[in-house]
């Protein structure tokens, strides 16, 4: 669970009952990591705060209660997101969904976050839907020739990289490259290959910044560069990389978990299919009942803290038990089978985090997931779960849900890509009824709603160039005018594409 940062063995000191009992080994839970009874058992044993090990010898406190998680997310005075200087275990290589670039507090964090938040807020929902549909249809067409598809591996997992690449303003070739590098870097099978892919990912983002410095457009990267905070090239590359690293896996998992529920639960499938359960409400239901994120490290105590009956010391590491908080009997219906549907449309879940580090891409991610689900169901109306064994699920504590989801459909359906472009999916708009406001059903906390769905006009606002920012380089890049006087400098992105042979 912990990543490449320095290790602080046994730095967290336990007090009270925790001192006398072995900590729960989060690092080796195996299949239990995905057992819905696990959180209940831990809560019964420890109460809302349990002593855990995130790696052998690396201790932390796992927050199991909704209220305790919310406090840790919102109270910056007692809990810091700056894990670098304390004893908290660092997040994994890409920080899921935290990332090192934003894992600070105060002015530095605000300065780096503002360009991302502002750039995301200016994307209208309709544009997101349009940019998801094309890659979604292409993936369906590519995987579905024989009437079978792995909805996680072939669809949900590559889709967010393809979509984000479009929002970086790059052609789909680069999206396929990003998806491939993502797959290689995450697969974990061959560490040397994963390292090569991780290095190539760095090049993708430095190359993206170089290209957008040379030629800006109406895209996320250009907006980040043009922001008045005037990020350096290195800062901008790190922030854009963070946007991708924080975004792609939870979004893919949300899509996968949602499709798993639609195909695996006949009642949910029918309600969603008939549009009785609107898309946004359904996504909240998924966040509560089949959350894409389980537990995230990324906070430490700034001083002595009493939390959920435990005494935490300065520097103690915290693991945010987001999925556990959703199973807290204090906030969820006791009988999940009967009462869980009441959670549809309830936006008080913690899947977006909360407070200063809360996810800045909530509307964006919802739109990607909703469009991905609807495009698939509209394109493949006969889709059903393939028979056979129960789908393999993630065994770590961070991502939760199916790691594969095999489905089949009548093979004669037309999913072919004609003239390089897939056919447009019918746009019924059946399930996409936007809910104007979250309903406060039992909510103790309402997720921030700031600027989630900006007006369509916002997209056409020209991207201003801040005073002092570098002017575009008019010469040298290959994609510049052919009469550029200087010899062409190699374009790093183009070279990367050639090196990985992605077309």
Q: Which of 167, 147, 166, 143 is nearest to 155 (CA)?
A: 143
CB of 20 to ligand HEM, least distance (A): 31
CB of 15 to ligand HEM, least distance (A): 25
Closest CB to ligand HEM among 59 and 98? 98
Q: Which of 124, 55, 99, 5 is nearest to 371 (CA)?
A: 124
Binding site for ligand HEM (CB under 6 A): 73, 97-98, 102, 113, 116, 242-243, 246-247, 250-251, 254, 292-293, 296, 298, 351-353, 357-361, 364-365
CB of 98 to ligand HEM, least distance (A): 4
Closest CB to ligand HEM among 11 and 102? 102
C-beta of residue 301 within 8 angstroms of C-beta of residue 261:
no
Give the burial string for 198-220 (b: 16+ CB within 10 Å, else e).
Answer: eebbebbbbbbbbbbbbebeebb
Say how far residue 315 (Cα) sits from the centre of its chain. 27
Closest CB to ligand HEM among 18 and 151? 151
- As a whole number of angstroms, the distance between CA 307 and CA 63 comes to 9
CB of 235 to ligand HEM, least distance (A): 13
CA angle 215, 217, 221 (to 5 degrees): 90
Closest CB to ligand HEM among 250 and 422? 250
CB of 242 to ligand HEM, least distance (A): 5
Please give the DSSP secondary-structure letter assigned to residue 418: B
24-25/310-312 β-pairing? unpaired
Structure tokens at 88: 């908290």
Strand partners, 346: 439
| Secondary structure element (H or E) that encloses residue 271, with its range | helix 266-273
- As a whole number of angstroms, the distance between CA 61 and CA 14 comes to 9
* 114 class by beta-carbon count within 10 Å (0-12 exposed, 13-18 middle, 19+ buried): middle
* 499 class by beta-carbon count within 10 Å (0-12 exposed, 13-18 middle, 19+ buried): exposed
Closest CB to ligand HEM among 254 and 493? 254
CB of 56 to ligand HEM, least distance (A): 24
Closest CB to ligand HEM among 18 and 159? 159
Closest CB to ligand HEM among 259 and 293? 293
CB of 347 to ligand HEM, least distance (A): 13
Closest CB to ligand HEM among 268 and 361? 361
Backbone angles phi, psi at 485, to 5 degrees: -75, -40
Closest CB to ligand HEM among 139 and 141? 139
CB of 325 to ligand HEM, least distance (A): 11
CB of 117 to ligand HEM, least distance (A): 8
Q: E strands, 56-177, where?
A: 58-63, 79-80, 148-150
Give me Rg for the CA atoms of the chain. 23
């Amino acid at each position: 669970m912990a990543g490449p940062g320095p290790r602080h063995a046994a730095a967290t000191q336990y007090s009270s009952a925790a001192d006398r009992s072995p900590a729960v080994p989060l690092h080796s839970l195996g299949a239990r990591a995905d057992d819905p009874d696990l959180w209940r058992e831990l809560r019964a044993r420890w109460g809302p705060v349990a002593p855990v090990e995130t790696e052998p010898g690396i201790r932390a406190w796992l927050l199991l209660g909704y209220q305790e998680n919310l406090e840790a997310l919102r109270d910056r005075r007692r809990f810091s997101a700056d894990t670098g200087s304390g004893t908290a275990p660092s997040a994994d290589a890409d920080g899921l969904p935290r990332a090192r670039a934003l894992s600070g507090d105060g002015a530095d964090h605000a300065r780096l976050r503002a360009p991302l938040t502002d750039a995301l807020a200016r994307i209208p929902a309709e544009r997101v839907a349009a940019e998801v549909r094309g890659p979604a249809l292409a993936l369906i067409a590519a995987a579905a020739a024989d009437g079978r598809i792995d909805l996680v591996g072939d669809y949900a997992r590559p889709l967010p990289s393809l979509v984000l690449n479009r929002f970086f303003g790059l052609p789909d070739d680069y999206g396929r490259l990003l998806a491939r590098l993502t797959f290689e870097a995450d697969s974990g099978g061959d560490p040397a290959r994963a390292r090569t892919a991780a290095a190539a990912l760095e090049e993708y983002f430095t190359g993206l910044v170089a290209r957008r410095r040379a030629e800006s457009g109406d895209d996320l990267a250009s907006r980040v560069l043009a922001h008045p905070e005037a990020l350096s090239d290195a800062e901008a590359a790190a922030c854009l990389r963070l946007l991708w690293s924080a975004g792609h896996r939870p979004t893919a998992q949300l899509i996968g978990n949602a499709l798993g529920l639609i195909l695996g639960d006949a009642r949910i499938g029918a309600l969603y299919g008939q549009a009785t359960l609107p898309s946004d409400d359904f996504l909240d239901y998924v966040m509560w009942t089949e959350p894409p994120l389980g537990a995230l490290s990324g906070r430490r105590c700034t001083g002595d803290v009493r939390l959920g009956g435990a005494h935490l010391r300065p520097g103690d590491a915290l693991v945010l038990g987001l999925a556990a908080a959703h199973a807290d009997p204090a906030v969820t219906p006791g009988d999940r089978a009967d009462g869980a549907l009441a959670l549809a449309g309830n936006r008080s879940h913690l899947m977006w985090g909360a407070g200063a580090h809360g996810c800045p891409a909530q509307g964006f991610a919802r739109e990607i997931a909703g469009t991905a689900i609807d495009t698939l169901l509209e394109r493949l109306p006969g889709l059903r779960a393939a028979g056979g064994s129960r789908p393999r699920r993630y065994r770590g504590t961070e991502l939760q849900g199916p790691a594969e989801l095999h489905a089949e459909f009548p093979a004669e359906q037309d999913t072919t890509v004609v003239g390089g472009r897939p056919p447009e999916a019918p746009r019924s708009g059946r399930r996409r009824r936007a809910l104007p406001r979250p309903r406060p059903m039992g909510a103790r906390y309402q997720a921030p709603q700031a600027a989630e769905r900006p007006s369509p006009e916002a997209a056409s606002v020209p991207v201003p160039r801040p005073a002092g920012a570098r002017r575009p380089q008019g010469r040298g890049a290959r994609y510049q005018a052919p009469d550029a006087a200087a010899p062409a400098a190699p374009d790093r992105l183009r070279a990367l594409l050639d090196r990985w042979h992605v077309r």
